[in-house]
Amino acid sequence: MSQLHIIDHPMIQHKLSIMRDIHTGSKDFRELLKEISLLMGYEVTRDLPLEPVEIETPMRKMTARVISGKKLAIVPILRAGLGMVDGLLTLLPVAKVGHIGLYRDETTHQPVSYYCKMPFDIDQRLVIVTDPMLATGGSASDALTMLKNLGCQHLRLMCLVAAPEGVKRLQQDHPDVDIYVAALDEELNSDAYILPGLGDAGDRIFGTK
């Protein structure tokens, strides 16, 4: 069973509360999403392995530690997942970035795929999939399936706000993928929007409504 990590650090919760507020405009929403993504990145990468290297400080030689093991990739689910990329890249500047285009059909709430472009060696990388909203879980589940079909074996999902329905779906479909969220909200409404949530993340990032 995959683990659900709820990152309830006070700085993240404070910033998320401002994002949820209906009066927060796109500029602040985008900046806060970037800041939270960087902060959440600390937890998402907490267990990366380290290896020893010999270095010399101005004082003497020492055995220091650097990150070893798999290279990283960040894969946003378009559009809203794009808002989490820059924060993660600040933390992981050499990560490669792939893109998966999915939108939810307004009537059926089923994800529709329209784009996929990956680094050539994506199957060799530890992949962090980003999307602020995990509602029914359909979009994230399809994105993870697409990546597994390309050979990816080491995947993590980083979201901002999740509904219990989405977490349950992910844990059923992808029990090997850990999920990182800043908040687990109450429920979905009849349009499959998260309550209390923060509205339509893509529209709030890009100012399209």
Active site residues: 104, 108, 200, 203
Compute the distance between CA of residue 113 and CA of residue 122 in angstroms, rounded to an integer: 19
Closest distance between ligand URA and the C-beta of residue 207, in Å?
Answer: 14
DSSP 8-state secondary structure symbol assigned to residue 2 = P
Nearer to ligand PRP, 68 or 110 (CB): 110
Distance of CA 91 to the CA centre of its chain: 14
Choosing from 5, 20, 70, 79, the residue that interacts with ligand PRP (CB under 6 A) is 79
Q: Which helix or strand (DSSP H or E) is residue 156 part of? A: strand 154-158
Binding mask 68-107 for ligand URA (x = CB under 6 A): ------------x---------------------------
Four-point Cα dihedral 19, 23, 26, 29, nearest 10: -10
> Is 206 near ligand URA (CB under 6 A)?
no
Contact 183, 196 (CB under 8 A): no
Two tokens at 47?
A: 């267990």
Using the rule CB under 6 A, is 139 a contact of ligand PRP?
Answer: yes
Q: Taking contact as CB under 6 A, which single stretch among the options 3-11, 52-60, 63-71, 75-83 is the one that binds ligand PRP?
A: 75-83
Which residue in the set 131, 155, 160, 204 belongs to the binding site for ligand PRP (CB under 6 A)? 131
For residue 202, state whether it binds ligand PRP (rule: CB under 6 A): yes
Residue carrying the six token digits 């809203």: 80
Cis peptide before 164 (omega within 30 of 0): no
State the Rg of the chain over Cα. Answer: 18
Which residues make up the interface to ligand PRP (CB under 6 A)? 77-80, 102-104, 109, 111, 131-140, 166, 192, 200-202
